[in-house]
Amino acid sequence: MSKRSMVTAVSMMMGLITSHGIAFGHGTEKHGNMMPMDSQMKKLHAIMPMFSLACDNMVSALEKGEIARIESEAGKITAAIPDLKKTKPHKNIKQQSTFVTHASNLEKAVNTTVELAKKGALVEAKAAYKKVEGACAACHAKFRD
């Protein structure tokens, strides 16, 4: 099985596992040692799997040079950024402004990737996409349990 097929298969499995808005490894009634999940946490759990799938689709579209698909998947991400900024993270809740900064960094990185792809600069767009991955990783390192 090729690397690309493997990535697609894993992405699809994760999408199915999380399709009901429940992040992998979490129950529905309690979130770690916290009180029952509130609506913001449920929203966060719905956003993250969508981000993951859209990002995987962007990678595939970048590899194939499918500009319209890159724009479409990026649009899914950027449309959810306002909701992301309103949610509470899993941990370090008192650092909400830093959480919002990470969300803004994600938005900027996605937009830069799209702008470069629309200009036909796919090599540069792929390099810019690394900042999308970096924004996700930085936020998860600080705010995810």
Burial (CB count within 10 angstroms: exposed 0-12, middle 13-18, buried 19+), residue 112: middle
Do 87 and 43 touch, CB atoms closer than 8 A? yes
Q: What is the pLDDT of residues 6-28, one digit of tens each?
A: 555 555 555 544 443 334 433 34
pLDDT at 115: 98
pLDDT at 36: 54
Annotated domain spans of the chain: 3-143
Q: What is the pLDDT of residues 62-82, one digit of tens each?
A: 999 999 999 999 999 999 999
- 89 DSSP assignment: P
Task: Tell me the percentage of the chain whose pLDDT exceeds 70.
Answer: 74
CATH number of the structural domain 3-143: 1.20.120
pLDDT at 88: 84
Distance between CA 131 and CA 142 in Å, rounded? Answer: 16
